[in-house]
Amino acid sequence: MAAARTRLIAALDTDDETHAASLARMVGPHVDALKLGLQFTYASGLPAAERVCAGQGLFLDLKLHDIPNTVACAVRAIAGAMRQPPLMLTLHGAGGVAMLEQARLARDEAFTAAGRPLLLAVTVLTSLDAEALQQTGVAGGPRQQVLRLARLALGAGIEGLVCSPHEIAPLRDMFGEAPVLVVPGVRPEASEAGDQKRVMTPRDASLAGADWIVVGRPITGAPDPAAAAAAIAGMLV
């Protein structure tokens, strides 16, 4: 499923279905998928996520992380709650091999072969730097932890990884072109980084080898979200 070019995902970070649907209509023609995460899903539910993204790929960013049986049951519940499966679904790589394997098996059982979402293992959140990781007991910095979790996830049969732009090149060097790399922490020049710590411009992330980039506030917070999405899409190779 690796992209021939880098594709753009717009993150619709809102808890309001009407607002999300309005943003989806504006940016939809200029992006390849739409991301809805915890904020929207807790407030509005999975059927609303399906409605907002009708006719467009849904990146369901729930970052599942629990004991193996609970995560497997959550994957089955998602399948039962949605008539149109999401394009992608996230899990935390730090959940461990058993959790990742059980999630994959549940995905394969609950979704038809033609409609199985791509499972993505989140490695290290883009809001974390070396100091923040060390505070949680993880030594060695983000790159080392990303590679460690990537090896674990890929060994468990997970097809894709979520990483910051700074880890694209090391991941490609170690694992080649096979893993699908979905990359948040992407900001156009002159955009505020916000709570992102490890960032890169859209073009640089594309040149580094990202299959997909995720951009939120620089699109949805722009005076003209459609124009902002179109401009970022035009930076990708």
Instruction: Please tell me the predicted confidence (pLDDT) of residue 89.
Output: 98
Alpha-carbon distance of 107 to 77, in angstroms, equals 10
- Catalytic site includes residue 63: yes
* CATH class as words, domain 7-233: alpha beta
Would you list the domain boundaries of the chain? 7-233
pLDDT-derived band at 126 (thresholds 50, 70, 90) equals confident
Instruction: Please tell me the predicted confidence (pLDDT) of residue 5.
Output: 85
pLDDT at 195 over 90: no
Instruction: Please tell me the predicted confidence (pLDDT) of residue 98.
Output: 98
Please provide residue 222's backbone torsions phi and psi, each rounded to the nearest 5 degrees.
-75, 155
Virtual torsion, Cα 146, 138, 142, 65, nearest 10 deg: 50
Among 16, 39, 48, 63, which one carries the catalytic annotation?
63
Q: Which two tokens stand for residue 32?
A: 């390849």
Tens digit of each residue's pLDDT (9 = 90 or more) over 144-162: 999 999 999 999 999 999 9
Alpha-carbon distance of 46 to 34, in angstroms, equals 14
Rounded to the nearest integer, the mean pLDDT of the chain is: 94
pLDDT at 59 over 80: yes
C-beta atoms surrounding 173 within 10 Å: 10
Q: Are strands 58-64 and 33-37 parallel, antiparallel or unpaired?
A: parallel
